[in-house]
Amino acid sequence: MISLLLTGGSGFLGSSILESIQERYTVFSLSRSVGDYKLCLEKNVPYFNHDFDIVVHAAGLAHYSPKDIVDVDLFNLVNVVGTQNLLKGLERRKIPDRFVLISTVAVYGVSEGYLINERSELNAIDPYGKSKVQAEKLVLQWCTENNVVCTILRLPLVVGLNPPGNLGAMIKGIRKGYYFNVAGGLAKKSMVLASDVAKYLLTASEIGGTFNLTDGYHPSFFELSENISRQLGKNRPKNLPLWLAKVLSRVGDLFGAKAPISSYKLRKISSDLTFDDSKAREAFGWDPTPVLEGFMISN
């Protein structure tokens, strides 16, 4: 069987990838506390006891708002230094034939836009986005130097069972009754099911290239919140008028990043931000399930 190394296999997306591939490949996993190789990549260069045909690098520090300089530095440490150490470890054994990097649409550095494609400039200015840009450059250069087929998958919001981050907070807010849509929740955002990323990942790895992956529909906040409410048996979330949200955001600006709403956050939740996945559809037959059809909150 083909031998595959998966980093971050215990994470939200990594666990979906592991479930999808473990019966078809000989999979070795690397993470901080579980798997075949237990270590922190940002602190250690791994010593591998196996050769790998394919490497899927899904480990990394996910997006959140840094509170201080320590948090800012952590993005670079985990996402950049961690990637460097992984590549150094791979050089000690047989170089793999294929390398897949799980990246993010945050590399584009935009908070609004319509069907942004892979030819767009990488203008990330936040610590998370900048660290992923650096990780992409490292992997691209390394793969070129070592004649490895390189695949970079840029993902928007990833949806699946028990999601972390903002989607998890949204589910909790709807369950507890304190979630509000803003300005009707009409802003559309690109999303993708974790199970679809896992399903197509290794097909993409045979082709190589950089691809946006979305569900192709780009649900609005209203549609997503209505779907979640229905699954939870809750009433449809109430709406916060835009004028009131603007007043509250100005107050929030006085309290900084900890405020539940600010002018910056308001722009993000009231503006469309979608990405074009036509390149993936043409290159390797990407045909995802719409999030509103495939999203399940629990088994």
The rounded distance, in Å, linking the Cα atoms of 87 and 235 is 50
Q: Work out the average pLDDT over 207-213.
A: 98
The rounded distance, in Å, linking the Cα atoms of 232 and 280 is 34
**Which contiguous run of DSSP H or E holds residue 175?**
helix 165-176
Question: In the prediction, which pLDDT does 249 show?
Answer: 85
CA angle 245/251/253 to nearest 5° reads 100
**Partners of 6 in the beta sheet?**
29, 56
More confident residue, 268 or 228: 228
In the chain, DSSP assigns E strands to 3-7, 26-31, 37-38, 54-57, 98-104, 113-116, 149-155, 157-159, 180-182, 191-193, 209-212, 238-240, 273-275
The rounded distance, in Å, linking the Cα atoms of 212 and 293 is 20
Long-range contacts of 257-266 (CB under 8 A, 24+ apart): 257/65, 257/67, 266/182
The rounded distance, in Å, linking the Cα atoms of 120 and 57 is 23
39, burial (CB in 10 Å: exposed 0-12, middle 13-18, buried 19+): middle
- Cβ atoms of 286 and 218 closer than 8 Å: no
Q: Are strands 180-182 and 26-31 parallel, antiparallel or unpaired?
A: unpaired
Question: In the prediction, which pLDDT does 208 show?
Answer: 97
Of residues 29, 22, 33, the one with CA closest to residue 50 = 29
Number of continuous H segments (helices) and E segments (strands) in the chain: 11, 13
User: Any idea what DSSP says for residue 41?
Assistant: T
**In the predicted structure, residue 265 carries a pLDDT above the cut 70:** yes
Q: What is the mean pLDDT of the chain?
A: 92
The correct CATH number of 3-156+193-214+275-289 out of 3.40.50.720, 3.30.499.10, 3.30.230.10, 3.20.20.70 is 3.40.50.720
**In the predicted structure, residue 66 carries a pLDDT above the cut 70:** no
113-154 pLDDT tens trace? 999 999 999 999 889 999 999 999 999 999 999 999 999 999
Q: How confident is the model at residue 257 (pLDDT cuts 50, 70, 90)?
A: low
**Partners of 182 in the beta sheet?**
240
Q: How confident is the model at residue 246 (pLDDT cuts 50, 70, 90)?
A: confident
What are the C-alpha distances in Å from 181 to residues 172, 173, 241, 290?
Answer: 14, 11, 9, 21
The rounded distance, in Å, linking the Cα atoms of 162 and 150 is 30
Query: What are the structural domain ranges in the chain?
Result: 3-156+193-214+275-289
More confident residue, 251 or 230: 230
CA angle 216/213/266 to nearest 5° reads 75
17-61 pLDDT tens trace? 999 999 899 999 999 888 899 999 999 999 999 999 999 999 988
The rounded distance, in Å, linking the Cα atoms of 71 and 73 is 5
Q: How confident is the model at residue 63 (pLDDT cuts 50, 70, 90)?
A: low
Single-letter code of the amino acid located at 92: R
The rounded distance, in Å, linking the Cα atoms of 33 and 41 is 12
Question: In the prediction, which pLDDT does 72 show?
Answer: 73
What are the C-alpha distances in Å from 99 to residues 60, 68, 112, 179?
Answer: 15, 33, 30, 40
- Cβ atoms of 269 and 182 closer than 8 Å: yes
User: Any idea what DSSP says for residue 120?
Assistant: S
Question: In the prediction, which pLDDT does 298 show?
Answer: 74
Name the percent of the chain in helix, strand, coil, to the closest 5.
45, 20, 35
- Cβ atoms of 78 and 86 closer than 8 Å: no
